[in-house]
Amino acid sequence: MEQSRLMAKASRTDTGPRATTRSGSLAERLRQALLDGLFAPASRLNEVHLSRTLSVSRTPLRAALQMLAGEGLLHYTPNKGFTVPEQSLSSIVDAYEMRALAEGLAARLAAERGLSETARAALDASLTAGDAALADTADPSKRRAAYADANEIFHGTIHEAAGSSLVKDVVRLCQRVPQASAHNIVAFDLDDMRQRHALHHRIYEAIICREPREAEALMRQHVLSVKLSMARAFGRRGPAEMATPETERAAADTLAAALREPRV
C-alpha cells in the first residue's frame, strides 16, 4: 500500500534519484502485469493514459517502460511508442522446453543440497494455499488469482533453493515470453490446476526425501505438461484478436486498481 501511495504522490517534475527509485518500483508492477497477461498482444501502452490512470509523471513511467523494453517484454518503435509483442506458438514452445530443463535442474539441485527451514516453510505454505484455492469452487476468478500466487511462490522457492544464479537467469529469460511465466495460468481449467498441483506435492516429496533424479524428472514432466496445455489453448484461440483503444484503456484501469492493492 505504501508503494502505491508514493506513486500516487508523484509530481510532474520528478527527474532525480527519487524518480529513478519510483521508475524501478513501477517497472516491477508493470512487469508483473505483463507476465500475468493483463495486456493483450499488440496492445499499445499509451503513456498519456497510463500516466493519468496511475497518477505518476511521464518521466518515471517512460523509464519503467524502457526497462521493460530492454528485457524484451515490450517493443519500442520511434514515433509509435511501446507495444506488447505478439508471440508465435513456436516461441512459446521453445520457452517452455528451456524452462523445463532449467527448472528440472533447480529441483535436482534443491534435492541434492537440501532445504533450509525457511524454504521448507515457504513450500509448505504454497502447497497449503494451493489446496485451499482449488477447494474454492464458488469464485473462479478468486481461485485463479490465489492459485497463481501459490504457484509462483512454489517455483520461486525452488529456484532460490537451487542456489544457482545461472538457473534463475535462464528462467527469467524464458519468462520474457509471458505465456511461460509461472504466474500465468490463464490457459488452465480447474482439472488442469488440480493435476499440476498434485505434481507440486510429488515434487516437494522428492526434494524432501533427497531424491534428485526423481525431483528433476517430475519437474520436467510438470513444466512440459503446462506447455501442452498452453499449446492447446493457443490452437483453440486461433489468430490473436487485435487490441483496441478500449481494451488498452481497460487494461490500464485494471492495472491501476491492482496497484492500489498490496501484493502478498
List, in order of start, the domains of the chain with CATH numbers: 2-86+240-259 (1.10.10.10), 89-237 (1.20.120.530)
Q: CA-CA distance, 113 to 130, in Å (whole number)? A: 25
C-alpha cell at 169: 537467469
Mean pLDDT of 42-70: 86
Q: Which of 23, 55, 74, 33 is nearest to 183 (CA)?
A: 33
Q: How far apart are CA 153 and CA 150, in angstroms?
A: 5
Compare 61 and 177 and report the one with higher pLDDT.
61
Q: What pLDDT digit, counting tens, does each position of 67-95 carry?
A: 888 877 788 988 888 988 877 778 778 88
pLDDT band at 257 (very low <50, low <70, confident <90, very high): low
pTM tops 0.85: no
Amino acid letter at 164? Answer: S
State which amino acid sits at residue 19: A
pLDDT confidence bin for 243, thresholds 50/70/90: very low
Residue with cell 490446476: 193
Mean pLDDT of 100-111: 97
Judged against a pLDDT cut of 80, whether residue 133 lies above it is answered with yes
- What is the overall mean pLDDT for the chain? 79
Identify the CA nearest to 218 among candidates 195, 200, 237: 200
H helix or E strand, kind and range, residue 209: none
Alpha helix stretches (DSSP H) within 175-239: 190-208, 212-237
